[in-house]
Structure 1
Amino acid sequence: MESNKINYVELPARDLSLNKAFFSKVFGWGFQDYGEGYTAFENAGLDGGFFQADFCSRPQNGAALVVLYHDDLASLIPKVKAAGGHIEQEIFEFPGGSRFHFLDPCGNEWAVWCKKG
């Protein structure tokens, strides 16, 4: 472990099964369950997990926004929708690239970005 670096992130999920299925289908993540109320995700670029909760993580409520990277945003949007996600903000450009925001099936907001070509 490296000191002073972000090591782990935990996010709420109203339904662990829904989020596990969603992130497995769309992003290829694996999961390791730890009891009924917690699952850790694997192959996500950063260690972390989902805990059972009746609330969700949204930046407008003061939560941090987790941003993923993908080489082809346009090809990812149909996968997000087909797996039960909701596009919260369509693809937009910003200095250095473009991104979109989506809600996972439990209502947590995420972003996905791509570098400018």
Structure 2
Amino acid sequence: MPGQINWVELPAADTAKARAFYSGLFGWGTSEFGGDYHVIDNGPAGAIAPREDGFTHPRVYFATDDIDASVKRIHELGGTGENVQAVPGVGRITHCHDDQGTPFSLYEPAPQE
């Protein structure tokens, strides 16, 4: 459903330590998705990922049925959006800021086959 939070990414300087922390706290298990990106198996829809410049706080993804139209609307409302990226077999994403600079991301799922 558009506007619902459908994914969260937790940045970590050391993903192994973060996975151990959240496993100890919530009992989460993870699966490696690629590189040092670890999908949470039995918790919220999301992942533990390497911390990077500009990615130092949890990243929230909102669902959208049409990411291109949503990015256009973000710009019309005074926000900003990066180029849309395709994630093979998953869908399309983009990182954005609202008109006050608050970061958020959008996710459009891949079409069902």
Q: TM-score, normalised by structure 1?
A: 0.47
Structure-2-length-normalised TM-score:
0.48
